[in-house]
Structure 1
Amino acid sequence: MGLDPGLRRLALGTLLAAYPGPVPPDWAIELVADGLAGHTLFGTNVHQPPQVAASTAALRSGRPDVLVAIDEEGGDVTRLAHATGSPYPGNAALGAIGDVSLTRRIYHAIGAELAALGITVNLAPTVDVNSADDNPVIGTRSFGADPVRVAAHSAAATAGLQSAGVAACAKHFPGHGATVADSHYELPTVDASPDVLRGRDLPPFAAVVAAGARAVMTAHIRVPALTGDRPATFSRAVLVDLLRGEYGFTGAVITDALEMKGAALAAGGIAPGAVLALAAGADLLCIGARVDADLVEQVAAEIVTALDDGRLARSRVEQAAGRAAELAAWTRTVGTSTAPCTDLGYAAARRAVRVEGVLGGLGQPLVVQVHADATIAEGRVPWGLGPHLNGTEQIRVVAAEVDPQEVRRRAGTRPIVLVGRHLHRLPGGPELVTALAGTHPVTVVEMGWPASWRPVGARAFVTTYGASHANGRAAAETLGLAR
């Protein structure tokens, strides 16, 4: 016996699905026609701008007000530019520059590009205060470690996106910046009191609510003082009492991907997690990136079953679907703007570069890029100085595996420029710098979060506050190595 069509449509109205490949399959469009709230685009869905525009048009053929979402943060997390790296420097760089009007212009440009492609919701900005230097999943996605600065830039980013007609979704509530674990793989714990959260993590969310953010994304983190043993995504105390009651948010609450281990393990699977998130007060459930028609139907069926057995009240699901529909209605009525200025991000990236020490006399050095694994949020996006070099030789190494003597031999009499992301956290990273600096002039280019670590013996330490295409070009220009 099939699902009640009305209840199935109601359940689908709370779901953000996804599909594989550059062309939406028939089932993805048919589900939209059946009431699915929308789809999230990932890098695998993006090849060229005309193809993306054709895909969003195909989705709208299923229903004109379908939500089309994407994680386009600029900087290290990009979907539109996943093949080359983003032309924007990212939040950490913008925070370091400290010009909120620039942040607004950057995000307006991002929003204009999305709007031109038919994308209506940006799962950005990241407004977490990166208070843990070794945070493995936020880092350069954050505007900084100072709540006041992060709040100001978060509000500017929200205003910039939404002035281009694209809904902003500020993330990750109530704040993922104090974690030293990645919620893609486990359930991180932030053991802080509500008062600490109000002073450290929550000011940016207050700022984006005041700026009119249309959506806020939940965090798969455990805050024992508020959530007990469950993640915030499943906590009514966080999503209703705190976000709506205390901070006055009236827009749509969107979950982070329910396939992430921080949610799925706590719930016993994606479909049970969908029920728990709805019961806690979430409105739009982001299923994840690995989605097919069967999974969508499984999640919808679990929601309908929960309506039947009393785990969910129909009024709660109707409220959630109503907020999703309101979000879709907003994206259809707000006008879009002119095409973005592509030079804006590169100019901003140059302003963000910081140099400690002496850069002179590099000539034609040997550039050594140290391998660093990407997070799931970032994906495999090219980074580094390579695409921007003026013929300067570059090699790639793994810090824990390379013989420093071989690097010295390769460099000969040339200085060495060592390029990395979070070099101090890489096995063998600090040791490699020290070994090379003993015999060669070494300049270190740090393209990850700028922690307090500084390399022993290096002539100069260059911080880019990100590893986007724009950040890489800015570093090459600063070193005098750009073509």
Structure 2
Amino acid sequence: MSLDPGLRRLALRTLLAAFPGTSAPGWAVDLVGDGLAGYTLFGYNIAEPAQVATITAALRDARHDVLIAIDEEGGDVTRLAHATGSPYPGNAALGAVGDASLTQRVYEAIGAELAALGINLNLAPTVDVNTAEENPIIGTRAFGADPEQVAAHAAAAVAGLQDAGVAACAKHFPGHGATVADSHLELPTVDAPLDLLRARDLPPFAAVVAADTKSIMTAHIRVPELTGDDPATFSRAALVDLLRGELGFTGAVITDALEMKGAALAAGGTARAAVPALAAGADLLCIGAQVDAALVEEVAAEIVDAISGGRLPLARVEEAAARVDALAAWSSRSAPGPSASGTSASQRSEGSMTDLGYAAARRAIQVEGSLEGMAGLGAPLVVQIVAASTIAEGPVPWGLGPHINGTEQVRVAAAEAIPADLLSRAGARPIVVVGRHAHRMPEARALIEALAASHPVTVVEMGWPSLWRPAGARAFVTTYGASYANGRAAAEALGLA
């Protein structure tokens, strides 16, 4: 059955899709011409800067105000540098430094890189207050666990991005920081009263609204007192009454990916999640990463059918499309568009904006104990404990590896490693153990403490810091993230770079 052309175009104006490969396929370009709001670029779309600029130019040729989005948070979540790790520290490191002006400069540098490539919407910053130490999906993506600290850095990040001409998208409303589940995999519940939500989770969102963030992303989390049994993405109480009514937000509300289980399972599928999201007050629907033309048409058909059947008011979809149009108009006016080389004028004038990232990562390093005397014992054995990446992070390289050429390094699975073998391999040399969220891994904790019981051991923690400290370790180094910049800063602190 063919769709009403006007309603199909209206539905497409509310969709943020994706496509596979390192060039824009014909169907993706055609959908832009048909009215599709835009696309999100993922790591699999990115090979090198000039190629990315070619993609964005092709999409912009189809319509000048197409939205081209990316998740470029710096730190552990990077798409531009997915092959190597980000040259910028992430939010946890910036929060640890405690200099909001530095945060603004880092985000302005990230924005300048995106603008040079023709990307005009960054699905960042993450402004969740990470109050759950065991949070499996936010962690180092957060500026910290203190609402006021997070609010100050969130506003600075938004200002930095938007000063560079790239629209910011603060996420994940009404706050994903208190969860102990990943909304990619299930529907997490934050069973908190509204007063606690207002005191703990909402101050950063109030701050980004005051900073004029152009968009805010919803969370697929359930807050029973606010959202009932539904995720916030499907809750009018969350998106209209609280976000717009109480906090005064007038920009575009963007959903987190509808393919995520927190939304798809609640609605009965990715396409079926579109209608309750729009009805709740969302404006731009991020479909997800695994998208083809057929899925885009299926989502559009669900919206058109709901309008035609009276289940979704036409005025609501027109309102959503108008807000998306306004976001696109701001982005197309503010961003300079891609350069042929993918290099921005601000980058050229600074020499290398990544120097800013390395300097910031060095400022974030925290050392407990003493590193003195380690050099006198000889070059250490570096033991990196294997740790899984989250879906948001993806398989991005991490560790000290690229920064300490000539120093022996081994990668071990904590559950399989034999302490005696590592001690024998180290001999008289000290051991540096590099971990990521080691406190969450009983086998990693046991391995580190077994080594430290009889040998000089320094621990480098590159995940979210916890209260756990291994007995016997001579020093504990916290990087507040696992980006390329964080690894380089840790290697320098240890005297290994």
Tell whether the structures are fold-level matches, with TM greater than 0.5.
yes
1:170 is paired with a residue whose SS is: strand
Map Cα deviations across residues 131-183 of structure 1 (whole Å, 9 max, x no partner).
11111100000000000000000000000000000000000000000001100
Aligned runs of 1:285-324 on 2, under 5 Å?
Answer: 285-324=285-324
Structure 1 CA distance for aligned equivalents of residues 194 and 226 of structure 2: 7
- Alpha-carbon distance in 2 for matches of 1:452, 1:435: 19
Question: Which residue identity does 2:41 align to in structure 1?
Answer: L
Counterparts of 2:102 and 2:491 in 1: how far apart (Å)?
22
Task: After TM superposition, list the pairs within 5 Å mapping 1:34-433 onto structure 2.
Answer: 34-334=34-334, 336=336, 338-340=345-347, 341-363=353-375, 364-433=379-448
Give, in angstroms, the shift of residue 339 of structure 1: 2.7
Matched length: 482
CA distance in 2, matches of 1:69, 1:368: 37
Which letter does structure 2 place at the counterpart of 1:399?
A
- Match in the other structure for 2:340: none
How far 1:361 sits from its partner (Å)?
2.3
- Cα distance in 1 for residues equivalent to 2:430 and 2:354: 33
How far did residue 360 of structure 1 move? 1.8
Secondary structure of the residue aligned to 1:462 is strand
Q: For 2:186, what is the secondary structure of its paired residue? A: coil
Unaligned segments of structure 2, at least 5 residues? 337-343, 348-352
* Cα separation, 2, equivalents of 1:413 and 1:128: 45
User: Is 2:403–2:488's contact at 8 Å kept on the other side of the alignment?
Assistant: yes
Aligned positions of 1:23-34 closer than 5 A:
23-34=23-34
> Are 1:32 and 1:66, in contact at CA under 8 Å, matched by a contact in 2?
yes
What is the aligned partner in structure 2 of residue 471 from structure 1? 486
Structure 2 Cα separation of the partners of residues 320 and 47 of structure 1:
33
Deviation, structure 1 residue 338: 3.5
TM-score by length of 1: 0.99
1:215-268 CA-to-partner distances (Å, cap 9, x unmatched) read 000000000000111100000000000000000000000000000011100111
2 CA distance for matches of 1:429 and 1:228?
Answer: 39
Match of 2:11? 11
Contact 1:218 1:253 in 2 (8 A): yes
Shift of 1:410: 1.3
Q: Distance in 1 between matches of 2:454 and 2:467?
A: 24
Residues 292-312 of structure 1: CA deviation (Å, up to 9, x unaligned): 000000000000001111110
Divergent runs of 4+, >4 A: none
With 405-414 and 393-402 compared, the bigger mean Cα shift is at 405-414
Cα separation, 2, equivalents of 1:390 and 1:464 = 20
The 1:270/1:335 distance shift into structure 2, 3 A limit, reads closer
Do 1:116 and 1:339's aligned partners in 2 also have CA atoms closer than 8 Å? no
Give the Cα separation in 2 of the matches to 1:86 and 1:192.
35
One-letter amino acid matched to 2:418:
D
In the TM superposition, what is the alpha-carbon distance from 1:335 to its structure 2 partner?
A: 5.3
Is residue 441 of structure 1 aligned with residue 448 of structure 2?
A: no
Deviation string, structure 1 residues 12-44 (Cα, Å, up to 9, x no partner):
000000000100100000011001000000000
Percent of pairs identical after alignment?
75
Helix, strand or coil at the partner of 2:346: coil
Unpaired runs of at least 5, structure 1: none
User: Which amino acid letter does the alignment assign opposite residue 160 of structure 1?
Assistant: G
SS of 2:221's equivalent in the other structure is coil
Q: After TM superposition, give the deviation of residue 314 of structure 1 in Å.
A: 0.3
CA RMSD of aligned residues (A): 0.8
Could you say what secondary structure the match of 1:75 adopts? coil
Q: Distance in 2 between matches of 1:390 and 1:38?
A: 43
Shift of 1:404: 1.1
Choose 436-445 or 70-79, whichever is displaced more: 436-445
Contact between 2:133 and 2:139, CA under 8 Å: does it hold in 1? Answer: yes
